């Protein structure tokens, strides 16, 4: 059983770039039978967040915060520069008051992607750093997401319930993260290893279900948007590429930098927690605003694959001081 669970999780990660878009397509075509199960999305997502947090302890967060500049830069690139560029891109293509512009900005504002941990590790970046920053950003999301959406679009300009959004983020994101970190501490870091054969494959299945159910939720509304997709899809692709570029070139703003930090920040700035974004978009915004967020899941992972290939080609002999420093601090 242990071997099967771990093998399944590894297989899923290897073919994520196919499985997740496939789940999206399946959700579109199976919309009608899936609609009654949409209410289960927050619970599925909470479980995914819990499993992610099992790999991070207070020591990791403390070690990363001892070097605050990379953390601050990562968050500014992801949640200041990226939303500004998303708004500018949306205004240029769709206009400032378009729901599609709202969706592009929402994509840039949602927390960093959990799957970035996998890509950072396989590309030679700092796993402790990215994991800690993802957890920290996730914990901050009840403050960051509502505040930035109101900053960009003005109070009252969007018909959404900010209080309900904060409560949902606390339940789906913050509480599972806190529980995961506590389990890490109580088990002295062994909870993830103990639970991995069962928890990891179940989290992968939950991820697929979240994607399918969110796609099913917007499918009835998106049927009449076929012509607009010709413009929306290239715009989403451009935004994803811009986010990756922000991370890659943004590292040059730091007084001390190395290849490992550049790899880590490229994925941090480029990847978002799309499953959370889809939950928020379908629950609190119009179907039109949901479309850019939902479509982004089809291109975020393939883009990560291309970035990984480029790093693999030009990544010989990079400095690993950041990872070593964090590991030494944790131990």
CB 239 within 8 A of CB 271: no
Q: Can you tell me the distance from the alpha carbon of 196 to that of 174, in angstroms, rounded to the nearest whole number? A: 21
Position 161 scores a pLDDT of 67
Position 325 scores a pLDDT of 46
191-245 pLDDT, tens per residue? 888 999 999 899 889 888 988 887 787 777 666 666 778 899 999 999 999 999 9
Position 156 scores a pLDDT of 57
3-state helix, strand, coil in the chain (%, to 5): 85, 0, 15
Residue 65 belongs to some domain of the structure: yes
Residue 272 has what DSSP assignment? B
229-287 pLDDT, tens per residue? 889 999 999 999 999 999 999 999 988 778 888 999 999 999 898 878 878 887 788 88
Q: pLDDT tier at 293 (50, 70, 90 boundaries)? A: confident
Position 158 scores a pLDDT of 57
Q: pLDDT tier at 101 (50, 70, 90 boundaries)? A: very high
Q: Give one DSSP letter per residue of 105-165, joined into a string.
A: HHHHHSPBPTTHHHHHHHHT--HHHHHHHHHHHHHHHHHHHHHHHHHHH-TTSS---HHHH
Number of domains the chain contains: 1
Residue 275 belongs to some domain of the structure: yes
Q: What percent of the chain has pLDDT over 90?
A: 26
CA distances from 182 to 108, 113, 196, 209 (A): 29, 21, 17, 27
Q: Can you tell me the distance from the alpha carbon of 45 to that of 210, in angstroms, rounded to the nearest whole number? A: 7
Position 38 scores a pLDDT of 84
146-167 pLDDT, tens per residue? 889 888 887 655 555 667 777 8
Q: pLDDT tier at 18 (50, 70, 90 boundaries)? A: confident
Q: Can you tell me the distance from the alpha carbon of 93 to that of 85, in angstroms, rounded to the nearest whole number? A: 12
Position 330 scores a pLDDT of 46
C-beta neighbour count of 255 within 10 angstroms = 5
CA 43 to chain centre: 17
Under 8 Å CB-to-CB from 305, ≥6 apart: which residues?
A: 17
**Residue numbers of the domain that contains 144:** 26-220+235-315
Residue 323 belongs to some domain of the structure: no
| CA-only gyration radius of the chain, Å | 19
CB 218 within 8 A of CB 287: yes
Q: What is the value of pTM for the model shown?
A: 0.76
Residue 61 belongs to some domain of the structure: yes
Q: Give one DSSP letter per residue of 212-226, joined into a string.
A: HHHHHHHHHHHGGGH
Position 202 scores a pLDDT of 92
For residue 112, list its beta bridge partners.
272
Q: What is the CATH number of the domain that holds 36?
A: 1.20.1530.20
User: Closest by alpha carbon to 212, among 28, 14, 17?
Assistant: 28
Residue 152 belongs to some domain of the structure: yes
pLDDT for 67 beyond 70: yes
Residue 225 belongs to some domain of the structure: no
C-beta neighbour count of 251 within 10 angstroms = 22
Q: Can you tell me the distance from the alpha carbon of 173 to that of 50, in angstroms, rounded to the nearest whole number? A: 8
Under 8 Å CB-to-CB from 47, ≥6 apart: which residues?
A: 176, 202, 203, 206
CA distances from 128 to 69, 135, 224, 278, 287 (A): 16, 11, 44, 27, 37
Residue 226 belongs to some domain of the structure: no
42-59 pLDDT, tens per residue? 888 789 888 878 888 888
Q: Give one DSSP letter per residue of 141-158, joined into a string.
A: HHHHHHHHHHHHH-TTSS
Under 8 Å CB-to-CB from 289, ≥6 apart: which residues?
A: 99, 100, 102, 103, 106, 281
Position 54 scores a pLDDT of 87
Count Cβ atoms within 10 A of the Cβ of residue 66 and give its class: 0-12 exposed, 13-18 middle, 19 or more buried.
exposed
**Once rounded to an integer, what is the mean pLDDT over residues 78-103?**
93
Position 138 scores a pLDDT of 84
Q: Can you tell me the distance from the alpha carbon of 24 to that of 219, in angstroms, rounded to the nearest whole number? A: 10
pLDDT for 302 beyond 60: yes
Residue 208 belongs to some domain of the structure: yes
């Amino acid at each position: 059983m242990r071997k099967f669970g771990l093998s399944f999780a590894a297989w899923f990660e290897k073919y994520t770039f196919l499985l997740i878009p496939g789940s999206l397509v399946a959700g579109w075509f199976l919309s009608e039978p899936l609609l009654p199960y949409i209410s289960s999305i927050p619970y599925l997502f909470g479980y995914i967040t819990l499993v992610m947090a099992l790999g991070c302890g207070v020591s990791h967060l403390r070690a990363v915060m001892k070097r605050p500049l990379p953390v601050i830069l990562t968050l500014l690139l992801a949640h200041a520069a990226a939303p500004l560029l998303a708004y500018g891109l949306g205004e240029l293509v769709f206009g400032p008051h378009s729901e599609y512009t709202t969706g592009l900005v929402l994509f840039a504002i949602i927390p960093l992607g959990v799957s970035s941990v996998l890509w950072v590790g396989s590309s030679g970046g700092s796993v402790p750093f990215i994991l800690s920053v993802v957890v920290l950003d996730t914990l901050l999301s009840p403050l960051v997401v509502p505040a930035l959406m109101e900053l960009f679009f003005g109070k009252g300009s969007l018909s959404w319930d900010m209080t309900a959004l904060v409560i949902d983020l606390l339940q789906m994101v913050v509480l599972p993260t806190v529980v995961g970190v506590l389990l890490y501490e109580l088990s002295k870091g062994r909870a993830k290893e103990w639970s991995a054969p069962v928890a990891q494959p179940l989290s992968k299945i939950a991820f697929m279900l979240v994607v399918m159910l969110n796609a099913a939720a917007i499918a009835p509304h998106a049927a009449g948007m076929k012509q607009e997709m010709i413009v929306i899809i290239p715009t989403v692709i451009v935004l994803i590429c811009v986010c990756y570029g922000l991370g890659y070139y943004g590292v040059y703003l730091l007084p001390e930098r190395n290849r490992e930090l550049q790899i880590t920040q490229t994925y941090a700035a480029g990847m978002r927690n799309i499953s959370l974004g889809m939950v928020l978009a379908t629950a609190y915004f119009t179907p039109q605003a949901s479309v850019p967020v939902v479509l982004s899941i089809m291109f975020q992972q393939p883009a990560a694959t291309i970035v990984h290939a480029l790093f693999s080609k030009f990544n010989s002999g990079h400095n690993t001081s950041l990872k070593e420093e964090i590991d030494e601090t944790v131990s």
